[in-house]
Amino acid sequence: MRCDVWWAHPTPATPSLLDLLDDVERGRYEGYRRDVDKQRFLTGRALIRGVVAAELGIAPADVALDSSCFDCGKPHGKPTVVGSTLEVSISHSGDWVALAMTEGAPVGVDVEEIRDAEVDGLAGICFSPEELTRFDAVPEADRRGAFFTYWARKEAVIKATGKGMTVVMSKLTLTAHDEQPRVLDSQASDVDTGTTRMADLDRGPSYRACVAVFADTAPKVTEHEAAELIASLG
């Protein structure tokens, strides 16, 4: 089984890229106040359509997406490719937009720019007791990087469930930040330790990123640069 991860930088709007959005997505796009947030959203939707279109042999404009939330039905949920078994997940932070895609296996991807944050307070909310014990031993100089490693890994797993933050992060216990990612224990019914496969991704020292796939065997993860693809769409 394969898992493809595509990377793009947030791209300014062009008429061709905007034409790829459906009416609901156009409303979401217009609702963002900051230009960078508009660019990230637009790039993510264009990236999904471009990659899926190439996979299915259809035009990007013919790729229909449904982002209905599983809980409330509003269009802020995990994107679904309508009429296809392809699974996708999208994430963005800082200068990067990430797309992960598999065939038939739930997938989640997350990228996090290492930034100023009250990591100790956040860790107390989203880490399990075992993780907190390990995190407390991390030297001060390494704590922000360690925190965002944990955060990106947990977000990737939660995104794979399709249920977002309704899955409580502190119910998952992962390996230490400097070990290969794996779910050691799960008190969340949507996450099975035996079928959760994870892989860290590398976007340089200022970022942490991870992809998670729910599958019986570990997928082959291949990363791609999407600059040419986005340029061809816009």
What number is the average pLDDT over the span 100-118?
A: 96
Element (H, E) at 7: strand 2-8
Is the CATH code 3.90.1300.10 the one for domain 1-105+219-234? no
* Residue 164 region by backbone torsions, left for phi larger than 0, else alpha for psi between -120 and 50, else beta: left
Domain 1-105+219-234 identical in fold to domain 109-215: yes
Helices (H), the chain: 15-18, 23-31, 35-56, 119-126, 129-136, 143-161, 227-233
Mean pLDDT calculated for residue range 154-179: 96
User: From residue 148, how far is each of 37, 111, 173, 205 by CA, in Å?
Assistant: 21, 9, 15, 11
Residue 72 above 90 pLDDT? no
The domain limits of the chain are: 1-105+219-234, 109-215
In sequence order, which residues have a C-beta less than 8 Å from that of residue 179 and are 6 or more positions away?
Answer: none
74, pLDDT greater than 90 = no
Q: Poorest-confidence range of 70-74, 188-192, 229-233?
A: 70-74
Average pLDDT over residues 217-233: 96
First and final C-alpha spacing in the chain: 31
- pLDDT at position 234 is 84
- Tell me what the pLDDT averaged over the chain comes to: 96
Identify the pLDDT of residue 173: 98
Task: Please determine, for residue 33, whether its predicted confidence score (pLDDT) is greater than 90.
Answer: yes
pTM here?
0.96
* Distance (Å, whole) CA 180 – CA 176: 8
pLDDT bucket at 75, cuts 50 / 70 / 90: confident
pLDDT of res. 164: 86
- The mean pLDDT of 196-219, rounded to a whole number, is 97
**Nearest alpha carbon to residue 174 among 212, 219, 121:** 212
CA dihedral 58, 59, 61, 62 (to 10 degrees): -20
The two tokens of residue 68 are 């209905």
Tokens encoding 218:
């570990």
Strand ranges across the sheet with 65-66: 65-66, 80-81, 86-93, 96-103, 2-8, 220-225
Q: CATH says 109-215 is which class? A: alpha beta
